[in-house]
Structure 1
Amino acid sequence: MDVRTPDPESSGWMSEDDLELIRRRIPIIYVEAIPVRVDEAGRVEHIGLLLRATNDGMITRSFVSGRVHYGETVRGALMRHLEKDLGSMAFPQVPIDLSPFTIGEFSPLPMTDLYDERQHAVALEYIVPVTGECAPRQDALEVTWVTPEEAKDPDLLEELEGGRGKILRTALGYLGAW
Structure 2
Amino acid sequence: MTVRTPDPNPGWLSELALDETRSRVPILYVEAVPVRVDALGQVEHVGLLLRGSAMTGVMTRTIVSGRVMHGESVRDALVRNLEKDLGPTAFPQVPASIAPFTVAEYFPLPGVTPLHDPRQHAVALVYVVPVTGECDPRQDALELTWLTPEEILDPRVTDELEGGRGHLVRQALAHLGALS
Query: If the TM-score is normalised by the length of the shorter chain, which range does it land in?
Result: over 0.9
Match of 1:99 in 2: 99
Is residue 175 from structure 1 mapped to residue 166 from structure 2 by the alignment? no
Match of 2:23 in 1: 24
Match of 1:14 in 2: 13
Q: Measure the CA separation in 2 of the matches of 1:20 and 1:110.
A: 19
Match of 2:152 in 1: 151
TM-aligned CA deviation for residue 143 of structure 1? 0.4
Q: Give the TM-score normalised by structure 2.
A: 0.93
Q: Measure the CA separation in 1 of the matches of 2:102 and 2:60.
A: 22
TM-aligned CA deviation for residue 4 of structure 1? 6.4
Q: CA RMSD in A?
A: 1.3
Match of 1:72 in 2: 72
The count of corresponding residues between Structure 1 and Structure 2 is 174
Match of 2:53 in 1: 54
SS state at 2:168 partner: helix
Specify the code of the residue in structure 1 equivalent to 2:128: I
SS state at 2:159 partner: helix
Q: Measure the CA separation in 2 of the matches of 1:105 and 1:18.
A: 22
SS state at 1:163 partner: helix
Among all aligned residue pairs of Structure 1 and Structure 2, give the percentage whose two residues are the same amino acid: 61
SS state at 2:28 partner: strand
TM-aligned CA deviation for residue 5 of structure 1? 2.5
SS state at 1:6 partner: coil
| Contact 1:7/1:13, CA 8 A, preserved across alignment | no
TM-aligned CA deviation for residue 113 of structure 1? 1.3
Match of 1:161 in 2: 162
Q: Measure the CA separation in 2 of the matches of 1:73 and 1:44.
A: 28
TM-aligned CA deviation for residue 57 of structure 1? 2.5
Moved over 4 A (4+): none
TM-aligned CA deviation for residue 84 of structure 1? 0.4
Q: Measure the CA separation in 2 of the matches of 1:144 and 1:89.
A: 16
Q: Give the TM-score normalised by structure 1.
A: 0.94
| Contact 1:6/1:13, CA 8 A, preserved across alignment | no
Deviations 1:108-146 (A, max 9, x none): 011221100000000111000010000000000000000
SS state at 1:159 partner: coil
Q: Measure the CA separation in 2 of the matches of 1:50 and 1:174.
A: 21
Specify the code of the residue in structure 1 equivalent to 2:100: P
Deviations 1:12-71 (A, max 9, x none): 331111001100110000000011011111111110000011124310000000000000
Q: Measure the CA separation in 1 of the matches of 2:72 and 2:28.
A: 11
Match of 1:37 in 2: 36
Specify the code of the residue in structure 2 equivalent to 1:66: G
